[in-house]
Amino acid sequence: MVKKILKIVGIVLLLLVVSAFAIPYLFEDQIKAKILKSINESVDAKVAFTDADLSLFKSFPNANVAMENLSIVNKAPFKGDTLVSFKELNLKMSVMELFNGDNEPLNIDAISSKNGLINIIFNKDGIGNFDIALKNQDQKTDDGKSKPLALKIKEYDVENFKFKYFDESSKISMVLDSINHSGTGDFTNDVLDLDTKTTAKISLNMDKVNYMNNINVSLDAILGIDLKNSKYTFKENKAKINELPLEFNGFIQLVDAGQLYDLTFKTPTSSFKNFLGLIPSAYASSLDNVKTSGDFTVAGFAKGMLTDTTVPKFNIAIASNNASFQYPDLPKSVKNIVIDTKIINETGVMNDTYVNLDKLSFSIDQDVFNAKANIKNVATNALVDAALKGTINLGNLSKAYPIKLEKPLSGILKADVTTKFDMASVEKSQYQNINNAGNINLTGFKYVDENGKSMNINSAIVQFNPSRVNLQEFKATTGKSDMNVTGVLENFYGFIFRNQNLQGNFNLSSNQLAVSDFMTTAEPTSKTETKAKTEAMKIPAFLDCSLTAKANTVLYDNLTLKDVSGKLIVKDQAVTLQNVKTNIFGGSIGVNGMVSTKAKIPTFNMNLGLNQVNIADSFTQLDMLKKIAPIAGIINGKLNSTIKLSGNLDANEMTPDLKTLSGDLLGQLLSTTVNSSNSTLLSALDSNLNFIDLKKLNLNDLKAALTFKDGKVTVKPFDIKYQDIKVTVGGTHGFDQLMNYNLKFDVPAKYLGSDVNNLIAKLSPANAAKLESIPVNAILGGSFTTPKITTDVKTATTTLVNNLVKQQKEQLIGKGKNELENLINKNKKPGDTTKTKVPATKEEVKQEVKTKAKDLLNGWLKKKEKPAPTTTP
């Protein structure tokens, strides 16, 4: 009997286990369809999720529905904006809910989510993107129950959530990031206590002004919730802003007109440690064992309605009187601390809010610093009236407070400034409405970055005049560089308060500037990387200014530039160079162009003017010119040239990336000589051409034009004169030094050897004149260091000799013909009218010449046989 019972129990358990695995597959599609239908029948938005999985084990004995990548995207007028998204959303419910009919609601017991977003937007018309509930729809069944989704939540949990809020009309932007929130309570009751725990980071901006940036907030609270009356009451609670503790009392109630507030809050203690707790953790240190005296309190209330047109009346008082603090292990203390600040709204109209910083003062040793300010009209056009006066020894800051700096600061900051302005004038650059007076003076300031590079500001004076701010003096050194800068800051307040670009006009003078001093060096990223790398220099995006500069010496890469002057215009992460001039290589170079660091890879576009520069120096020390015209390095003399070039800059060294270089060069050589012995190419060419001595080559006033692109240089054909030889040069070479050049020589025949000259001597002057220029070609291949040279000198000489022999034959034939005619005519008897036949063809001429020559020779010999007449002495 027992065996049968155990067998039956085993079968039942097996069926339950099988069912637990099978039910999710049987009902998964039904659950997906019901959830999607439930949401779509309730909202006017685009709803989607990638998957929904059902499990009976994850929340046993309840069922768990896990939805992945759920999103609700708005339709017009917020088309495309995401209202809600969840990377993961889990719904816990009774297993019996799986068997409900289509019109029966799903009762949800618990909700949890991870990596979600809620994005609330109000447009300029005051319409919110969250108002997506379908209108004019019967959303209830006959018995008044909602269909087909209901909540009886007892617990919920949110992990790593983000809440974004933006009001286009008021320009208020708030972000709650890294939200972790959980709550437990029985929502099946109309009145319940909800036990919640919350942590988050809050950022707040109002009209481009940042008031909070990633401030840590937390709240552990029991909230009394009245669901019928939508009333939420603070009971036991503990809140923190960074480490500043706060307690709340009162309630918030949702009513038809808006939200009703009746809240009070205060710090539970009055210790000055409360103030130190306000400092963000990134800049703060542990408050353990800090000695404090005096008090610090925050107290206030908010009472009234929050509607589209009103805010609750509120008063926030922040106060401290004659307080001090000293950290353990630090030698100095901060004393005589007085804080008296109030933020007040007495009417419920947002624009009537005002801030009174009646006093803020403190002292370190003998240095005392005071500030006060009044801000009104905060919602529309804030009016600011402020004053700063005092002295701070920056070196004492790290001795009195554990500031997290790589290197300690030094220097004396003195301020005595009053200012009065409105934000509208700042934004519109209406400087005539801004009233300033006084100055800020910084001396002996030294800052060392994490890579050991230091900046020493000997003195800096910022002078505040009515409607303008002058940089009266800025004298500094860093590395090998010194600077003296003066100028005008055109929109100082726009830069400080409105995130506008910093505009101004400055003058820079320097004895020496080393470009490397203004580039940062990155440490090696691995054990195998032994050398530190120079990071790409980025031109700050906030700069919109001009700089007229003059420096006696500028050190750039391996170059020393003298007497540098010109104008630099900085805007949109680019520098435009205007009329920049420098003396270098025994001459001068003028530069106009632009360098941009806006893209990931820096780019440049330049026009260079080279005047009387030393050719050998410039084409051996500048890698760019060496690649463009490597042969120029063996030329002694001066060069005038215009060069247009563009390309990318090496991101580390800010020097031209030759692989991307393109442009053209037009140059003229002056007072030049050629040192061919230093060139493998010219030595090889010299040995292949006996009729030219390259050491005697005259390149004075030579003009050449070339273009370069994709690592290839094309030289437009140009002419060179060597004595009475004309040479035409043209071709191409690569930055890899491989070349393909053609040299065409017009060589007078007299340079082609004694055999040729002997043949020419036998020609008539008319025929000899025709042979003054003989074309000779040379092809230059290989590389500049290992050239391959071919010429047609031998072919040209052979052809010339053959032509000379031929001309001599023709000349002899012509001469023989003429002599034959003269001889025949001479021997003709008087009265003989027989016409002498003149041979017409060359063969006839040859035969006639032979015959007559034979006759003449025989006759001449016969005459010679006659005895010569003798005379008797």
pLDDT band at 507 (very low <50, low <70, confident <90, very high): very high
The single-letter code of the amino acid at 37 is: K
Lowest mean pLDDT among 404-418, 549-563, 806-820, 826-840: 826-840
Q: Residue 4: how many CA atoms within 13 Å on its side-chain side?
A: 1
3-state DSSP assignment of residue 840: coil
Please state, in angstroms and rounded to a whole number, the distance separating the CA atoms of residues 838 and 822. Answer: 11
Q: Are 41 and 34 in contact (CB under 8 A)?
A: no
Q: What's the pLDDT at 7?
A: 42
Q: Would you state the structure tokens that stand for residue 209, as one six-digit string?
A: 């002004």
- Alpha helix positions (H), 589-678: 615-621, 623-628
pLDDT at 462 over 90: yes
Give the separation between CA 350 and CA 424, rounded to whole angstroms.
17
Q: For residue 20, is pLDDT > 80?
A: no
Specify the pTM.
0.65
So what's the pLDDT on residue 185? 82
Q: 3-state DSSP call for residue 166?
A: strand
Instruction: Give 791's contacts (C-beta < 8 A, 6+ positions apart).
Output: 688, 689, 776, 777, 778, 779
**Which pLDDT tens digit goes with each residue over 592-606?**
999 998 888 889 999
Q: How confident is the model at residue 403 (pLDDT cuts 50, 70, 90)?
A: confident
pLDDT (mean) for 158-164: 88
**Per-residue pLDDT band at 805 (split at 50, 70, 90):** low
Give me the residue spans of the domains in the chain: 26-133+146-207, 242-404
In this predicted model, which residue has the larger pLDDT, 129 or 233?
233
Overall average pLDDT of the 553-576 stretch: 90
**Rounded distance, CA 195 to CA 180, Å?**
14
Helix axes 793-827, 754-761, angle to 10 degrees: 20
pLDDT in tens, 681-706: 777 877 777 777 777 777 788 888 99
